[in-house]
Amino acid sequence: LTVMFIGDGAPAGSYGYTNSGYSVYEEENERLTESLRTKVSAIKSLSIEIGTEVKNQNKMLSDMDNDFDSTSGLLGATMGRLRTLSRGSQTKLLCYMMLFSLFVFFVIYWIIKLR
């Protein structure tokens, strides 16, 4: 009668795992760990890129907000001038509008006549 131990007959360096099937599981775990490590690295770089893009978009929105504020101030000043102009004589304003319309009409007529 011969008694065999788990490590008997196994090649050197396998530590007896070959017979029990542990080396297959270890190799699979190593492969899955490496795959997970690669995916985590990709997600990390993607999240860094997303953070950079968010910072750029926030800066752009801030710049747009400042532009809109300055445009709002300019528009408010223009509306104030229009109100001041409209408080004046309506007859005077109507006369200026008629003269401008006649001027535009004659310019267009002259351009068509020269063709």
96: three-class secondary structure by DSSP: helix
End-to-end CA distance of the chain: 122
Tell me the C-alpha distance between 60 and 47, whole Å. Answer: 20
Residues 45-79 pLDDT 10s: 999 999 999 999 999 999 999 988 888 888 888 88
d(C-alpha 5, C-alpha 41), whole Å:
43
Amino acid in position 59: K
The most confident of 41-45, 68-72, 95-99, by mean pLDDT: 41-45
pTM summary value = 0.45
Average pLDDT, the chain: 82
Least confident of 1-15, 33-47, 65-79, 99-113: 1-15
Q: Which amino acid is residue 21, in one-letter code?
A: G
